[in-house]
Each structure stands twice: as structure tokens, then as C-alpha cells.
Copies of this chain bind each other. A is one copy, B any other.
Amino acid sequence: MPYTPVWYMRQAGRSLPEYWRVREGISMLDSCTRPDLITEITLQPLRRYDVDAAILFSDIVVPLRAIGVNVDIKPGVGPVIDPPVRMAADLESLRPLEPDDVPYVTEAIQALVAELDERPLIGFAGGPFTLASYLVEGGPSKSHDRTKAMMYGDPELWHALLGRLADLTISFLQIQVAAGASAIQLFDSWVGAVGPDDYRHAILPHTSRIFGALETAAIPRIHFGVGTGELLGLMGEAGADVVGVDWRIPLDEAVRRVEPGKALQGNLDPAVLLASWEVIEERALDVLSRGRTAEGHVFNLGHGVLPDTDPDALARLADLVHTASAR
């Protein structure tokens, strides 16, 4: 590419007025199971921003719901799962995922690929720690107490749970790749709650199996979590081709923590978009400059677009990334 590519986590969705218009009267999870809505919402940001990829509109709990887990996304709260998964017997509810469980995903991706022409579509799945946390806690959690109690205290159950979640995630991503996704991002959003030794023993084997199962697909595999400064090297070792970085660590320092041969993605603080254009421009140029030390850099925010973000600022930012990085 003649410039640094750019896309935004959560570019589709809550920050766009046209998103709220098509969602009117439709719950979040219902909108993730209707091919027409998935397609429309995925395409909406591409009509505004000259971004270099679309990201499938979905949610990390979609495959859980598809296999029959009782999960709902409560507005202002997040995913709520009832009953939670806390004992070996509870694992039975986590059966394998088949393509027939998510026909809407296949259908939407096929429609999107036809529409997008050459522009890549990034597939989407939640990572094992984050899925485990929602299942074990039964909902969002600040400190993931019960989840970590299982991880520390009952490694056998923990690995059985993460093994099932890895199976589910592999199937969900393979279905997306078969339908035409040309890259995937594994969002292990909350894995930064774990230290590096625990990541290596309790999580990496499962993440590694997920990325390994996608090896033959020969597509870029992106891995992202929040607050993962100490884990970036391990997230690369797990098999990601592109390691996502939040804003807490300067991108050039992140480069030093990841083994050679990996690209980095990030890492403008989404809250910077709430300031004036002068501030946004200065910060974005700084990220681009630090990103030049990486073997490859995909410009992105350090986490999802915030709800109050002005879409015009994101449009201008995508253009800035292209012009400022043009070679």
C-alpha cells in the first residue's frame, strides 16, 4: 500500500446517527442476527470514512447465543448471561458451533464481500479470557474475581472451559473466512487483567490454537486487548500477525516488546477525538511517526470509537493518515 492503512475499532455502530436510525426498535443482539442489518451497519462507516477495511458488525457473544447460551445485551450494562458457567457440569451448555447456527453471518459476509469489491472485510470474534469472564461472572465485571478465582484455583476446569471457547471461536472464525472475510481480529478485550506468567500458562495455549487453526487460511490475524502493555510480546507469540496496542504505551515502545516480523495496530486514545482538530492532528502525527519504527503499522484507535465522537473528525482523521503517510 502506498500509505499507512487505517480503520477504527467500533467504526460501525453507536457513534453514527444512521446506525441508531436502522436499529430503532431492534435489540442489539437481534440486529446481529439479521443479514440485512449486519450488512447495512457494516457498510455505514464506509460511506463516511475513507478507511481501508470494513469490520463485520457483530458482538463477541453472538456465537454463544447461537449455541443456545441465554445471553442478552442490556443497554448501559453489557452482556448478561444467566445462568453463569461455574462448574464442570455447566460446560455441557457450550456445544460446538456449526455453520447452520449462524446462517445470518455467512449470508451477510457474502453480501458484504460482493459489495466491498477490493476493500477487505475483517472478521470478528471474542478472545478466550473475555468470553470466559462474561460466562463465569454472568455479566460485565470490573475485577473478574470469580473468573480469576477459577483460573488460579481450578486449572483443570479453567482449561476445559477455555478449550470449549477456543473450539467455538475457531468455528466462528472459520465460518467467516469461508464466507469471504479477508482478515480476522480476535478481541480479547479484558485479557489485560492478567499478568504475563498467567497469560502464558492459562490463556496463550488456547489463543495459540485459535490462530493456528486459521494458519491455512493465509489471512492476516489481528489480536487486540486493552491494557496489555506487558502481554504484547506474548500476544504475538500466540500467533497474531498484527498486535493491537491501546494508548497506554507509546507505539515505539510497543515495537520493542513484540518480536520481529509482526505488525502493530493502533494506538490513538479514542478520547483525543473529543478535543479540537489541532489536538487530533498533532496526536495522530505522533502515532504515525512512532509507528514508522514498526515492521508494519495499521493506524487505529487504542480502543473502540467513543459514543460521543464526531464522525466528521473520524473522516478527517482517515484522510490525514493517508496523506501524512503517503510514500
B248 to A193, Cβ gap below 8 A?
yes
A219 beta carbon closer than 8 Å to chain B:
no
A275 to B152, Cβ gap below 8 A?
yes
A276 beta carbon closer than 8 Å to chain B:
yes
Q: How many angstroms between the C-alpha atoms of A197 and B146 in the bound complex? A: 35
Contacts of A249 in B (CB 8 A): 195-196, 229-230
A279 to B152, Cβ gap below 8 A?
yes
A84 shortest CB reach to chain B, Å: 15
A303 beta carbon closer than 8 Å to chain B:
yes
A97 beta carbon closer than 8 Å to chain B:
no
A267 shortest CB reach to chain B, Å: 9
Chain A residue total in the interface (Cβ 8 A): 34
A143 to B197, Cβ gap below 8 A?
no
A253 beta carbon closer than 8 Å to chain B:
yes
A206 beta carbon closer than 8 Å to chain B:
no
* Given contacts A152-B279, A271-B148, A271-B152, A227 and B230 within 8 Å (CB-CB): no
A113 beta carbon closer than 8 Å to chain B:
no
Q: How many angstroms between the C-alpha atoms of A144 and B253 in the bound complex? A: 24
CB within 8 Å of B: which A146-176 residues: 146, 148-149, 152-153
CB within 8 Å of B: which A175-195 residues: 192-195
A270 shortest CB reach to chain B, Å: 7
Q: How many angstroms between the C-alpha atoms of A309 and B152 in the bound complex? A: 14
A274 to B230, Cβ gap below 8 A?
no
* Given contacts A249-B230, A306-B145, A274 and B153 within 8 Å (CB-CB): yes
